[in-house]
Structure 1
Amino acid sequence: MSTKVVEVKTLKVGKYVVLDGEASKIVNIQTSSPGKHGAAKARVDAIGIFDNQKRNLVKPVDAKIEVPIIDKRTAQVLALMGSDVQLMDLETYETFEVPIPDDLRDKLVEGAEVGYIVAMGNKKLMRIKG
């Protein structure tokens, strides 16, 4: 797994975190002030990048947590195959298939350049370039 460890207090909305073994995008962070005998706590709400599941986490702000290393890449659409699309990476020329997100389904055409991400061994189509 390609992750690194950071403290909870360094997390920001829009960044990524590993919750329940899944890479997730942070949508909300709330911190409580420290009490008389306790440490400040952070409540992190995130949505899974690959499965769209909502996940929550409550930990002290000085606790350690894993953050996925996200690799943003460019590919070319080779073929549209129903609910999947075949892509070729423009740096390594590797070909692979990924599911088409609902918001890009009718905009995707063969030969177009697209942006995708690789995180923790999974790939996801993110946007159409240009």
Structure 2
Amino acid sequence: MIDDAPCEITSYSTAKPGKHGSAKARIDGEGVFDGKKRSLSQPVDAKIWVPIIERKQGQVVSVDGDVAQVMDLDTYETISMRVPEDEPMSPDDEIEYLEMDDQRKIV
């Protein structure tokens, strides 16, 4: 988690410890749900929170513009999600999506 957003790490580098300080790590990442680039710099012995993101299966019930109604195949709950621009969808398609807390994204 960088800036309270789940991120996929794109690069990682460390700086050697100095005379009076500890080693530092710089982590660059891209947001899983929003695509924004973020960076984090902190001591290498600091703890960082790792999010638990679930990969789930769903079925498209209807598509209206860039919003799709998706039914979860495990709980039968209906959820509204944004459709990726590069992926055409139609009703009855089975899809995979990521979920963390109240955030969801079609993969």
Same fold (TM over 0.5): yes
1:52 maps onto 2:35 in alignment? yes
Instruction: State TM-score, norm by structure 2.
Output: 0.91
Describe how 1:80-91 pairs up with structure 2 within 5 A. 80-91=63-74
Given that 1:41 and 1:61 are in contact with CA atoms closer than 8 Å, whether structure 2 keeps it comes out as: yes
| 3-state SS of paired residue (2:48) | strand
| AA partner of residue 96 (structure 1) | I
**2:101 pairs with one of 113, 117, 120:** 120
1:67 maps onto 2:71 in alignment? no
Greater per-residue strand proportion: 1
CA displacement 1:74-104 (0-9 Å, x = unmatched):
0011111101111000000000110011222
Aligned residues: 107
Describe how 1:1-130 pairs up with structure 2 within 5 A. 18-104=1-87, 106=88, 108-126=89-107
Q: C-alpha separation between the residues in 2 aligned to 1:26 and 1:121?
A: 22
Greater per-residue helix proportion: 1
**Unaligned runs of at least 5 residues, structure 1:** 1-17
Percent identity of the aligned residues?
42
Q: Which residue of 2 aligns with 1:13?
A: none
| Structure 1 moving runs of 4+ over 4 Å | none
**Unaligned runs of at least 5 residues, structure 2:** none
| 3-state SS of paired residue (1:65) | coil
Given that 1:78 and 1:87 are in contact with CA atoms closer than 8 Å, whether structure 2 keeps it comes out as: yes
Q: C-alpha separation between the residues in 2 aligned to 1:114 and 1:35?
A: 50
CA RMSD of aligned residues (A): 1.3
Q: C-alpha separation between the residues in 1 aligned to 2:36 and 2:14?
A: 22
